[in-house]
Chain A
Amino acid sequence: MATMTFADALNDAHRIEMRRDPNVFVVGEDVGIYGGIFGVTKGLLEEFGEMRVRDTPITESAFVGCAVGAAAAGLRPVAELMFVDFVGVCLDQLYNQGAKMRYMFGGKAQIPMVLRASCGAGIGAAAQHSQCLEAWFMHVPGLKVVMPSTPADAKGLLISAIRDNNPVVFLEHKILYATEGEVPEGEYTVPLGKADVKRKGEDVTVVATAAMVPKALAAADALAAEGISVEVLDPRTLLPLDEEAILASVKKTHRLVVVHEAVKFAGPGGEIAAMVAEKAFDYLDAPILRVAAPFSPVPFSPPLEQAFIPSEERISQAVREVVGA
């Protein structure tokens, strides 16, 4: 185990996979000389050279499509979309081409690629550089969607995503890049589609993603002092969703709060809540609550942005509400 940041853990995952498999290459804006705008690909150009670490012009359709085409032709690309907000200018290559080729071709194509993207608010980047769009990708059959919350998960999930034979959208909350944690060394993998219980508890299940996980854990700490035992579950992969783990937790605690930074309406929490209502309704002792962003673009000014991002206090309030405290 080594202590490293979320960004360094992702960097480590790239190096391990690029050393192991010569067909893995990195492509995107400023991934080479600059080392990635958040430093995730730092030093890769020096170690692996220009053929494998490709700086591209600012043409997201060209490089995302290039990744899809190269994957179809046998390579294993890792494309970096600097901000997930930019997916709008290249979405066709991801969702109509990459995600559908296998199915449209009757199972005869394989698109083993990863599209990494930063997401989330909290640094004053405003409406076009701060969104959480995971629900968009969750709506596309053929994609997998990963959203880690810790450095160890980031490394283990990225290695698994690179080895996966499907297009994987890998969402990195930018507020997490500098967070530190213990990270296993070497070829550490976390399987896609497996949730992780980040804190065991008895009274209520809080399903949280990405930057909401540390907030949910902090809320759980505070609520423990009030005598409320909170279980915090991080799905880690949103597609496929580990329904079994969520259901097992809810069947134990009988209460569910879902927390995410994406806007609440038609967000990932709606899907999780509906799934639990369909499959474990009789186990519920209280209505399912969602804590999420309001239905607005992400604002710029710090007090507005902080009002937008779900807070620890809002999570605590929702938990108190479902336990009737």
Chain B
Amino acid sequence: MSITREKLVDAYTTMVKIRTFEEHAAQLFAEGKIPGFVHLYVGEEAVAAGVCATLRDSDYITSTHRGHGHLISKGGDVKRMMAELFGKRTGYCKGKGGSMHIADMNLGIMGANGIVGGGPPLAVGAGFACKYLGRDDVAVCFFGDGAANQGTTHEGMNLASCWKLPVVFVNENNCYGISCSVDRATCVTDIADKAAAFDMPAVTVDGNDLMAVYEAASEAVERARRGAGPTLIECKTYRQRGHFEGDPAEYRSPEEVAEWKAKDPIPRLEKKLLEMGVLTEARIQEIRAGVLAEVEEAVRFAEESPLPDPSEVTEDVYA
């Protein structure tokens, strides 16, 4: 399915928003304003934006520890996200979750996840609920190349395939699980090959090409919606920054990083959209300025928001 011009502009805007959010998060982390760990999505924006462009609010996603891009693409509010990164009471989780646990159940965002491979069984459950309730909604499971070797991922894919559940497994192969390169972590060249064990259709796409991701995802989502079962999409991409902010990432060469930066998904899409006449330079500047204002407003909101009261520590444990 080819993407409409309107969706292209939306996806481009989403990608710019993710990048801007992440660049601000990096700076704020470096300044000591964000506690804990942050894992940034810089360089992988086309995956989340392309996949989520095929979804609606009632569809579900499960995310990863590198989740900001998924949340923004699924419609998450950057103000509440940034406030959560700051550990503020106005954050998505009232400061109880932080970067690795942001969720918005009203948008089907079943949470970022601190456990590599934690999400696939949950996505299977959400997909099962859709089928059980007779809804034509789907569950998308984002997972990394690291999670591709976890037992939970294989168990989840097996069950989704056995039960023909409306689940789309989106593998973000960003080449590294912290320092362990994908060629040292698995013996297959394409993670998509793993789907053969489950008789599941699979495809490998250039994860830095928004249109390629969108096309694969729309086919998989359509297949899931009509009850034909799950699909695995492997998106080959690259984590431009370290595993976490502060990781010197000495396990990879400057040449490799430079090579991938040259394939950065945002300038690539921008160039294409200019060529297609979907965007003009003026419109690009307008979009970038709008996104910057939105993210700056989010930072202001986060900075000005109150911290949680210590008395809240035991609230929200039980329903």
Mark A residues whose CB is within 8 Å of B.
25, 51, 54, 56-57, 59, 61-75, 77, 92-93, 96-97, 101-112, 141-142, 144, 165-166
Query: How far is it, in angstroms, between the C-alpha of A106 and the C-alpha of B308 when the chains are bound?
Result: 11
Contacts of B124 in A (CB 8 A): 62, 65-66, 69
Are A71 and B125 closer than 8 Å at their CB atoms? Answer: yes
With A75-B129, A103-B317 as known contacts, state yes or no: A69 contacts B110, CB within 8 Å: yes
Are A142 and B317 closer than 8 Å at their CB atoms? Answer: yes
The segment from B40-48, B113-121, B265-273, B287-295 that touches chain A is: B113-121
Q: List 19 A-B contacts (CB under 8 A).
A: A54-B163, A59-B159, A62-B124, A62-B155, A65-B156, A69-B110, A72-B122, A73-B125, A75-B128, A96-B115, A102-B317, A104-B93, A104-B111, A105-B93, A105-B105, A106-B91, A106-B96, A109-B110, A166-B318
Which residue on chain A has the smallest CB distance to residue B157?
A: A62
Min CB distance B150 to A, Å, is 9
* Interface residues as binary, B146-173 with A (CB distance below 8 Å gives 1, 0 otherwise): 0000011001101100110000000000
Min CB distance B114 to A, Å, is 8
Contacts of B162 in A (CB 8 A): 57
Contacts of A97 in B (CB 8 A): 113, 115, 118, 121-122
Are B159 and A56 closer than 8 Å at their CB atoms? Answer: yes
Mark B residues whose CB is within 8 Å of A.
60, 62, 91-97, 101, 103-105, 110-111, 113-115, 118, 120-130, 132-133, 139, 151-152, 155-156, 158-159, 162-163, 315-319
Are A70 and B128 closer than 8 Å at their CB atoms? Answer: yes
Query: How far is it, in angstroms, between the C-alpha of A173 and the C-alpha of B315 when the chains are bound?
Result: 33
Are B103 and A65 closer than 8 Å at their CB atoms? Answer: no
Additional A-B contacts beyond A56-B159, A74-B133, A97-B121 (14; CB < 8 A): A62-B124, A62-B155, A65-B152, A66-B124, A69-B128, A70-B126, A73-B129, A77-B125, A92-B152, A93-B118, A96-B115, A103-B96, A104-B96, A105-B105
Contacts of A105 in B (CB 8 A): 92-93, 96-97, 101, 103, 105, 111
Are A104 and B118 closer than 8 Å at their CB atoms? Answer: no
With A104-B93, A106-B96, A107-B94 as known contacts, state yes or no: A72 contacts B105, CB within 8 Å: yes
Query: How far is it, in angstroms, between the C-alpha of A142 and the C-alpha of B162 when the chains are bound?
Result: 31
Are A66 and B115 closer than 8 Å at their CB atoms? Answer: no
Are B319 and A62 closer than 8 Å at their CB atoms? Answer: no
With A96-B118, A105-B105, A106-B97 as known contacts, state yes or no: A59 contacts B155, CB within 8 Å: yes
Which residue on chain B has the smallest CB distance to residue A58?
A: B155
Query: How far is it, in angstroms, between the C-alpha of A67 and the C-alpha of B113 when the chains are bound?
Result: 17
Question: Which of A51, A68, A106, A112 sits near B122, CB closer than 8 Å?
Answer: A68
Are A69 and B132 closer than 8 Å at their CB atoms? Answer: no
Question: Which of A66, A77, A109, A112 sits near B121, CB closer than 8 Å?
Answer: A66
Which residue on chain A has the smallest CB distance to residue B109?
A: A105
Question: Which of B93, B121, B126, B156 sits near A73, CB closer than 8 Å?
Answer: B126
Min CB distance A167 to B, Å, is 10
Which residue on chain A has the smallest CB distance to residue B156?
A: A62
Query: How far is it, in angstroms, between the C-alpha of A102 and the C-alpha of B315 when the chains are bound?
Result: 10
Query: How far is it, in angstroms, between the C-alpha of A144 and the C-alpha of B105 when the chains are bound?
Result: 23
Contacts of B130 in A (CB 8 A): 73
Contacts of A93 in B (CB 8 A): 118, 121-122, 152
Contacts of A166 in B (CB 8 A): 318-319
Are A65 and B318 closer than 8 Å at their CB atoms? Answer: no
Min CB distance A191 to B, Å, is 14
With A57-B158, A73-B60 as known contacts, state yes or no: A106 contacts B120, CB within 8 Å: no
Are B152 and A66 closer than 8 Å at their CB atoms? Answer: no
Contacts of A92 in B (CB 8 A): 115, 118, 152
Min CB distance B292 to A, Å, is 28
Interface centre among B110, B155, B156, B315 (most CB of A within 10 A): B155
Which residue on chain A has the smallest CB distance to residue B113?
A: A97
With A56-B159, A57-B162, A61-B155 as known contacts, state yes or no: A69 contacts B121, CB within 8 Å: yes
Which residue on chain B has the smallest CB distance to residue A66?
A: B125
Min CB distance B227 to A, Å, is 13
Contacts of B62 in A (CB 8 A): 69
Query: How far is it, in angstroms, between the C-alpha of A101 and the C-alpha of B62 when the chains are bound?
Result: 12
Question: Which of B96, B114, B121 sits near A68, CB closer than 8 Å?
Answer: B121
Contacts of A112 in B (CB 8 A): 319
Contacts of A71 in B (CB 8 A): 125
Query: How far is it, in angstroms, between the C-alpha of A51 and the C-alpha of B126 when the chains are bound?
Result: 15
Are B132 and A75 closer than 8 Å at their CB atoms? Answer: yes
Query: How far is it, in angstroms, between the C-alpha of A54 and the C-alpha of B164 when the chains are bound?
Result: 13
Are A108 and B125 closer than 8 Å at their CB atoms? Answer: no
Contacts of A54 in B (CB 8 A): 163
Query: How far is it, in angstroms, between the C-alpha of A67 and the C-alpha of B118 when the chains are bound?
Result: 13
Contacts of A144 in B (CB 8 A): 318
Contacts of A104 in B (CB 8 A): 93, 96-97, 101, 103, 111
Contacts of B97 in A (CB 8 A): 104-106
Query: How far is it, in angstroms, between the C-alpha of A166 and the C-alpha of B318 when the chains are bound?
Result: 6
Query: How far is it, in angstroms, between the C-alpha of A74 and the C-alpha of B128 when the chains are bound?
Result: 11
Are A108 and B159 closer than 8 Å at their CB atoms? Answer: no
Which residue on chain B has the smallest CB distance to residue A69?
A: B125
